Amino acid sequence: MTITKKKLVLIGNGMAGVRAVEHLIKLSPESYDITIFGAEPHPNYNRIMLSSVLAGGADMQEIVINDWDWYKENNITLHTGHKVTKIDTENKKVTSHLGIEVDYDAVIIATGSNPFMLPLPGADKEGVIAFRDINDCEIMIDASKKYKKAVVIGGGLLGLEAARGLLHLGMEVNVVHIFNYLMERQLDEAAAKMLQRELEAQGMQFLLQKSTASIKGKKRASGLVFADGTEVDGDLVVMAVGIKPNIELAKASGIEVNRGIIVDDFMQTSVPGIYAVGECAEHRGIAYGLVAPLYEQGAVLAKHLVGVETAGYQGSVTSTKLKVSGVDVFSAGRFDEAPGTRSLKIQDDMAGTYKKIVIQDGKLVGAVLFGDTSDGSELFATIKSGESVAGREKEILLGISSDLLGKSSGGNRLEAMADDEIICGCNGVSKGTIADAILNKGCNTVGSIKACTKASASCGGCKPQVEGLLHLYAGDSVGEAVKEGICGCTPLSRDEIVEEITRMRLMSTKEVMNVLEWHNPEGCSKCRPALNYYLGMLYPEEYVDEKESRITNERFHANIQKDGTYSVVPRIYGGVTSPADLKKIAEVAEKFDVPMVKFTGGQRLDLLGVKKEDLPKIWEELDMPSGHAYGKTLRTVKTCVGSTFCRFGTQDSISMGIQMEKAFERLNTPAKVKLAVSGCPRNCAEATIKDFGVVAIDGGWELHVAGNGGVKVRATDLLCIVKTEDEVMEWSSAFLQYYRENAQWNERTSQWVERVGLDSVKKALEKREDRLALKERIEKTLSLTTDPWKQIIETDDLRKNFEQLNGVQPVQI
């Protein structure tokens, strides 16, 4: 008997809606044909990790929750870049702005929320943005390359995370806040002041109790004007003052709305068959903006849609546990000192920790933690339970332990938690999911639980609770955490896996994972490509390559970049090319509007086999500076693509490299000199084996010297760390000139520094006046030089001189 599937349409490809679909698929994968519309051109990603992307702690690939393959594997039709403009509730059809029309039996509206933009004069100027999605991150990154000053309006969590990211991008940042202390919704004044001191030490500047009157500037914003008449400059203005539920589609479709889309306990709207979850939904007068309540809503809705009996959603008691620019903070319940409450506090300014608990009628009703949040989950559970803590207040204040206070009604606190309570807020992993991984899937370490469920895989704040559940359910079976194999899915090493594949003639990745008892039966992005390679290596004739197990770059034969575009690199064997191939590359680049074409490696083209008598004419017709691939001079300045394209790049390495090459070309030196600039510590330009290497870091540049990649490889020594490009030029000029003046002939910088000692070089360059004097001398030298091959073609006399050299044997060095 064929079962006709119902048609489910999800409007919104964010965390809340897709979470509901994940639950639904697990409960009843055959119940619905699912179509998802997402306004952004991306798969489902973790929005709360955007601040980590901006601050350089994660890349876009790492914050994707469900990649493109997940939709295909679950037979989900995905329309990215489609904004739904109409829900025809009478004919049960959904239509996107690009004309896609889909029938439905049920609709989930998960349109989330929109950033609130203050209606200020000048708010429509260029350079005024919110901080809400990937596009906002990209705008900030681009702005940081052109401008140096940013202003963030809003001293809440989102504003501080935006400010931290802009600091990472090298911008000067002022945070404007209307209240007298930061994060007033999550922290009390004492904790907020401690946080402010920490952030000021990181470089943030704060303008508190300031009300913005207008945004100044002509076409582009140039700063803010405040109500008190004062001003602050800024070429980028980021508004982070709050969010409002995105209800426009629902409202236009005749669905009842208030602040959000009004829903009942089963997330049903006023129109039958249409549901809402997440930040756009309003339940019992509350629209939640935190992850845990949204996931709880999704679980209830999924059960309801597939007919599984469930209690309705009753609302959520919320807590906030997070990192603000590297500082741990936690708050839950009521932390204000209202009438009828009493509070206990402990503060350690030396350790940078603060703890406050609020008691009412013998019960714990609120808590604030700063610096050390390890007690957060236990405090939150105590608040939710409503149990009496009379007589235990000081014990709670001084430090909860699982032995003393982790017991409730005769049982362990974690044991008393409901199975659907969220442990990992970042990834929406419940206690029940973790328990199932431990009891039924063989996960007996925190690492294997992470691989199987994603619990603790993002910020790591829930790791203590994951460890507690591991000991609760695994008991004596808890595994050794020290042994981890090629990934968290298995404790087996590369050699052990290859040995077992060979011994048992395992012939597919699925077979390997099953027979070798992978903790995660689907594997992960680390082990699947590895297994695919091992099998192909061992059985090249028999093994059928699994394309789905290859990384994205290999599947598309191109390198994915941070903006979702690809880098295509045709092979040029040995660096040898032809005029026909060069024309082909140029024509393709023009035809497809390729934004940049770049030489790789040494970044030169070498014309070999040229006759001696033809040299003057070739240089004359080339009319290009010499690459100096032969002399004791500057050879190359190798660069990576840096922040211009690379998703890991922190600085514009291409621009920095070009600046250095143009400054030092034609520079004669005791021996050949090679330079390099890497756009991040991944060091793709190999700057740490060059004579002078520049490596971009968070907010500045590392300057390395005396490396050698030749026969005798020598890693560089760190000379210093600077903040600006001008300082890079100052120090590189001084170092090269000091080397020119003090090294022996034919002595590479590596040999020279080993001979004289790095400390002597540092001492010679430590005073700025000495560096500037060296810089002036090298600039004077360079101003007197011209390209030697231009001299050959400029006069008949020089041409004759060249011709007279014909037949003269060169000096052998």
Does 280 appear as a known binding residue?
no
Please check whether residue 688 is in contact with residue 704, taking contact to mean a CB–CB distance below 8 angstroms.
yes
Q: Work out the number of other CB atoms within 10 angstroms of the CB of residue 665.
A: 17
d(Cα 792, Cα 811) in Å, to the nearest integer?
A: 20
Q: Which of these, 768, 771, 778, 736, lies nearest to 753 by C-alpha position? A: 736
DSSP code, position 419 = T
Does 452 appear as a known binding residue?
no
Contacts of 81 (CB under 8 A, 6+ apart): 38, 39, 40, 41, 98
Q: In this structure, what is the dihedral angle of CA atoms 192, 193, 197, 200, given to the nearest 10 degrees?
A: 70
Please check whether residue 294 is in contact with residue 19, taking contact to mean a CB–CB distance below 8 angstroms.
yes
User: Residue 186 phi/psi, 5° resolution?
Assistant: -115, -25
Written as one letter, the residue type at 322 is: L
Does 489 appear as a known binding residue?
no
User: How far is residue 13 CA from its own chain's centroid?
Assistant: 19
Sign for the CA dihedral angle at 63, 66, 72, 77 comes to negative
User: How far is residue 675 CA from its own chain's centroid?
Assistant: 29
Written as one letter, the residue type at 451 is: A
- 326 - beta bridge partners? none
Q: Which of these, 26, 3, 5, 11, lies nearest to 274 by C-alpha position? A: 11
Written as one letter, the residue type at 468 is: G
User: Residue 746 phi/psi, 5° resolution?
Assistant: 65, 20
DSSP code, position 117 = P
Contacts of 253 (CB under 8 A, 6+ apart): 86, 87, 89, 271, 274
SS3 content of the chain, % helix, strand, coil (to 5): 35, 20, 40
Q: Which of these, 666, 637, 626, lies nearest to 782 by C-alpha position? A: 666
- Token pair of 482, please? 């020290």
- Token pair of 247, please? 């209800």
Please check whether residue 650 is in contact with residue 698, taking contact to mean a CB–CB distance below 8 angstroms.
yes
Q: In this structure, what is the dihedral angle of CA atoms 282, 285, 287, 291, given to the nearest 10 degrees?
A: -100
Please check whether residue 160 is in contact with residue 203, taking contact to mean a CB–CB distance below 8 angstroms.
no
Q: Please report, in range form, the residues annotated as the binding site for siroheme.
A: 684
Q: Which residues are annotated as a binding site for [4Fe-4S] cluster?
A: 640, 646, 680, 684
Please state the residue numbers annotated as binding site. Answer: 640, 646, 680, 684
